[in-house]
Amino acid sequence: MQINYIEIKEFGGPEVLVENVAESRSVAADEILVRVAGAGVNPIDFKTRRGTGFVAEKIKNSLPWIPGYDFSGTVLETGSEASQWMVGDNVMGMAGFPYSGGAYSSHLVIRAANVVEVPDSLSLIDAAGIPLAALTAWQALFDAGALEKGSKVLIHAGAGGVGHFAVQFAKTFDAHVIATASPDHHDFLHEIGVDEVIDYNTVDFSEECYGLDFVLDCVGGQVGIQSLNVLCSSGRLITVPTATAPGIIEAGRQAGIATFGLRVQPDLQQLAEILELIDTGEVKVCVDQRISMSDCAAAHLKLESGHTRGKIVLLP
C-alpha cells in the first residue's frame, strides 16, 4: 500500500515541510495499520522543524524525519497478536513520542497496545487534537502540580491547546481559575469556565494576582519568572516550554517557590480518564481549524503566530 506523508530533510521555515510517497511497511504481530483521519499539530512540531528543542538535537543527524505525534483514525489491518482490535475500529493515540514522530501521514503502523478507542460521542477528526495537549495539562495539574480541590489557579495562554484543557480540568477540581488571553478569546474562556480573564496586552498580571496556589506557565521566559511573584509561599509553578524552563526553575529556587518543568509522557490510563470527561460533556475539545495535510506549512504558521484557539488538526 502506498502512503502519503510529510517530511523534513533539513531544519528551517515552513517551506522545509515537503510531501512524499512510499510503500507502507508490513504489520508486525503486535501492531495495527491505521488509516489516519486527523493529525494534531503541536508547538513541539514547529520547534523541531526549526531545529530547536530536545527532539531536534536528538534527530539532527538522522534526517529526514516525519513530524507529528497525535493521530486518530480507523484500523485497516491487525497483527496476529493484536486481537484486542478489529478492522473498522476507531482509535487514537500518540505516535513515536518523542523522537520518532510519524503522524503527518495518510496511514500509520503502530503497536496495538499504544492506542485507545475513540468514544462514539467524539468526532473522529477532533480526537486527533487531544492526546499531547490534554496529557500535558493533566500531568501539569495533577502529577507535577499536585493540585488540590478549591485551589486558586492562574493559567497563561488559557485559550491555547494545553491551556483550554487545563482550564476545564481545573474546574473539575472546583478551582478558581484565572487565565491570560487576548480579548478575542475572553468570551470563549468564560464559556469553558474561567472565572477571571486578564488581557495580557493591557494588564500586568503580576499586579492583579497574588497569593495563588498554582500557576501553569504555557508561555515561558519572563512570563514564567514574573509568575513566581503571584504565588503564596506554599504555591507551585509548572512551566511547559522546555527551552526556558531551566532559568525559571532556578529563579523559583532562589525565591523559595516549588517550580518544575514538564515533559509530557504518553499514558493511556490518563488518556482514558480524559476521554471519559469528554464523553460525559464535562470537558470539550476545541478544534480551531482543520487544514489539509498538504497545507501543513500554513498550519505551522498559524500555530507559530500564538493566536490559536484550542487545536489545529491536519486532514490527510
* CA dist list (Å): 260 to 46, 108, 158: 23, 34, 19
> Mean pLDDT throughout 246-253?
98
Q: Binning pLDDT at 50, 70 and 90, where does residue 164 land?
A: very high
> Mean pLDDT throughout 201-212?
96
pLDDT in tens, 109-158: 999 999 999 999 999 999 999 999 999 999 999 999 999 999 999 999 99
- Whole-prediction pTM: 0.97
Identity of the amino acid at 197: V
Is the pLDDT score of 307 beyond 90?
no
Same CATH fold assignment for domains 2-130+285-315 and 132-261: no
pLDDT at 308: 93
pLDDT above 90: percentage of residues in the chain: 99
Q: Where are the domains of the chain?
A: 2-130+285-315, 132-261
The third-level CATH classification (topology) of the domain covering 132-261 is Rossmann fold (3.40.50)
Q: Could you tell me the three cell numbers for 168?
A: 476545564
The CATH superfamily label for domain 2-130+285-315 reads Medium-chain alcohol dehydrogenases, catalytic domain (3.90.180.10)
pLDDT at 70: 98
